Amino acid sequence: MTARRKICVVTGNRAEYGLLRWTMQEIRDDPALDLYLIVTGQHLEPRFGATARLIEDDGFAIDARVPIDLGVGSVAQSTAKALSGIAEALERLKPDIVLLLGDRFEVHAAATAAMIARVPIAHAHGGEATEGAIDEAIRHAVTKMAHLHFVSAEPYRRRVIQLGEAPERVFLVGAAGLDNIERLRFLDAATLEKEVGAALGCFLLVTYHPTTLMPAESVRGATALLAALDRFPGHRVLVTGTNADSGGAEIRALVEDYAKMHPARVVLRESLGQLLYLSALKAAAAVIGNSSSGILEAPYLGVPTVNLGDRQRGRLRAASVIDCVETEEAIAAAIARALDPAYRATLDPSATPYGRPGAARRIRDVLKTYPLDRILMKSFYDLKVSD
């Protein structure tokens, strides 16, 4: 009898888990695979919504919890705690493959722990670019530590190969977040309002995170965003919480004060979870901020995005994404354009550069069948350079 292959997923925040959820389910439900789960980062912090409970509500057993004391020290100190705790968990669980997604500092810690423990690494959403964040360097570093690569678009496949990874180890699977759109049954407006606990009507969905290479500019950008929102008093505003990166606490304070000043119009929720968030995204008049959901999921739903600043600079864009600099005037003009019915009528949800749903099944199939014998041995793949 062939032993079941043990796949260990590491997740540190709500957005990353939302992208991994259906892949985790495919792994858990496959008789040839065993799913192990390490949870860390914001999932374990009450001030970020303690979203580990949402993972358990979805029916997943958590095999290891690695608290890293976000906000107690620096991000570097939290990364060190993540490295130590994940290393201990991997030693106990002894997986055959570690599956990671994206570019967060917890992902870098998990990749380092797995690499040193000689556990093969599968990495999703490599090859992308976010030039305004330290995530850019982390993503490419994890690519060099990983042994299997699941990319969301053809240009990203080429970039991973450009980084020296063998083409036969790079798999074009599409954007993982699109599976949520295919599989979730979205809430209707009345149920959404009941779950959020507030009337929404015609509303704007706002998520704004710090740009880690320029945290001071992010605070100015958040201030400009809030001022621009004042120009649209006829729209309610649903704001989700910021992340734990440098500058996040200052932005959080600004948003909390803004919500207190406008209690009849502004609804602030730390974490909505995937079903609530995507239901809100689908129902919103526009999504505003600098979250990757405005680049990946919103276009597929036909919802216009006002993308602020440089945090997502370098990512492929659909025509429904309106980029703007972080000034009050520019943001207000971009919001007005996004709300224009004539503009919205031109949007084509099928024109997304990130493929079609089904990434979870494609990732599962590779994890189940790719030979592991000598997988840890990697040769640098050199591109042919013409004279």
pLDDT tens-digit profile, the chain (387 residues): 568 999 999 999 888 898 999 999 999 999 999 999 999 998 998 887 888 998 999 999 999 999 998 877 788 999 999 999 999 999 999 999 999 998 889 999 999 999 999 999 999 999 998 766 678 899 999 999 999 999 999 999 999 999 999 999 999 999 998 898 888 899 999 999 999 999 999 999 999 988 766 667 888 889 999 999 999 999 999 998 777 666 678 888 888 999 999 999 999 988 787 889 999 999 999 999 998 889 988 998 999 999 998 888 888 899 999 999 999 999 999 999 999 999 988 888 877 888 888 999 999 999 999 999 999 999 999 998 765
Q: With H, G, I as helix, E, B as strand and everything else as coil, classify residue 341.
A: helix
Tokens of 272: 């909505």
CA distances from 56 to 43, 62, 133, 383 (A): 11, 7, 31, 45
| Cβ burial 187-214 (10 Å sphere, 16+ → b, else e) | beeeebbebbebebeebbbbbbbbbbbb
State if pTM tops 0.85: no
Give first-to-last CA distance, the chain, whole Å.
54
The full set of domains in the chain, from first to last, is: 5-174+358-369 (3.40.50.2000), 188-351 (3.40.50.2000)
Q: Which residue has the tokens 């600099």?
A: 325
Beta strands 5-11 and 305-308 are unpaired
CA distances from 349 to 22, 210, 282, 322 (A): 22, 28, 12, 15
In 3D space, the residue among 107, 109, 113 whose CA is nearest the CA of residue 12 turns out to be 107
